[in-house]
Amino acid sequence: MSRMVHCVKLNKEAEGLERAPYPGELGRRIFEQVSREAWQLWLRHQTMLINEYRLTPVDPKARKFLEEQMEQFFFGSGSGTPVGFTPQI
């Protein structure tokens, strides 16, 4: 049986992740409080941030920025989109 969590992002009971997707305290919080569905939303949002801001994920500054955005996406007021961003349909 799948592990269920009350997802803080979707505000509903949903299937949880199999393991912590990120190291440290933030990864533990995500594992305990974020659903698979919400994690997939984050991965799409993170890809958009990387592409729009032309980030290199191995760069320490980019990693710090993405970590801050991840925390805001799940536990804060949300991670916004870059100014002028128009999603493709």
Decide if 9 contacts 35 (C-beta within 8 A): yes
Per-residue pLDDT, 75: 95
Whether residue 43 lies inside any domain: the answer is: yes
The owner of tokens 């996406």 is 73
Boundaries of domain holding 10: 4-75
The predicted-structure confidence for 62-88, as pLDDT tens digits, reads as follows: 999 999 999 999 999 877 776 666 666
Structural domain tally of the chain? Answer: 1
Whether residue 32 lies inside any domain: the answer is: yes
The domain that holds 25 is classified in CATH as: 1.10.3880.10
Per-residue pLDDT, 33: 98
Decide if 70 contacts 46 (C-beta within 8 A): yes
Tell me: pLDDT of 27 over 70: yes
Per-residue pLDDT, 83: 67
| Residue 89, CB-side half-sphere exposure with 13 Å CA sphere | 0
The predicted-structure confidence for 31-53, as pLDDT tens digits, reads as follows: 999 999 999 999 999 999 999 99
